[in-house]
Amino acid sequence: MINLWNKVLRNTKVKDGMTVLSSGTEGFKLSTYTTSVTVANGATTGKEASIGMPANFLPMAVSVTVTTASTNAVNLNDIGDDADTDSYVDGASVALNTTGYKGIVGCNGVRGMGPGSTTSTGATTTADEVEIVISGDPGATGATVRLVFIGIEADS
């Protein structure tokens, strides 16, 4: 029986989040949010083309993949929103001069839940664009990163 249960768990996938409800209809949903952000040649910041980060979403971690590498040696330092460009991730150092998967970073900013976070601001109640800050000019190609956030979204 244990082997059967382990097999079921290994082959179980949660799609579109997992919802935990209270005694009523309100609850929390474990969910992901994926976006791509480009920093243009000559710039040090970039943001989503349109509002994407959902309201009432508290990110715990973000996976970073470089899809367009910078021609200059620069690092991704901060991830946030319009009001605070390091509200999700503050002080990372992710190299952007090669393409590929770069790893998972804990969301340690004031709107994050990862290691070092104070979570003093909490989840934003209004959807917003994700912004990134890099350490310098990315060069002729610019730099594009795909970000996949995992976090908790309130259903209420």
Residue 74 resides in a domain: yes
Question: pLDDT tens digit string along 59-110?
Answer: 999 999 999 999 999 999 999 988 889 999 999 999 999 999 999 999 998 8
pLDDT at 11 (0 to 100):
54
Residue 134's domain spans which residues? 30-154
pLDDT at 126 (0 to 100):
77
User: Distances in Å between the alpha carbon of 108 and those of 46, 92, 121?
Assistant: 20, 9, 12
Residue 125 resides in a domain: yes
pLDDT higher than 80, residue 130: yes
Question: pLDDT tens digit string along 5-23?
Answer: 555 555 545 555 555 545 5
d(Cα 21, Cα 43) in Å, to the nearest integer? Answer: 44
Q: Answer with the residue of higher pLDDT: 107 or 111.
A: 107
pLDDT higher than 60, residue 122: yes
DSSP state of 31: E
- pLDDT band with cut points at 50, 70 and 90 for residue 55: confident
CATH of the domain at 34: 2.60.120
DSSP state of 57: E
Q: Rounding to the nearest 10 degrees, give the CA dihedral for residues 29, 35, 39, 44.
A: 0
pLDDT higher than 90, residue 43: yes
Which of 82, 114, 109, 102 minimizes the C-alpha distance to 144?
102
Residue 65 resides in a domain: yes
Find all residues with CB under 8 Å of 126, minimum gap 6, and list them: 55
Number of domains within the chain: 1
Question: pLDDT tens digit string along 134-146?
Answer: 999 999 999 999 9
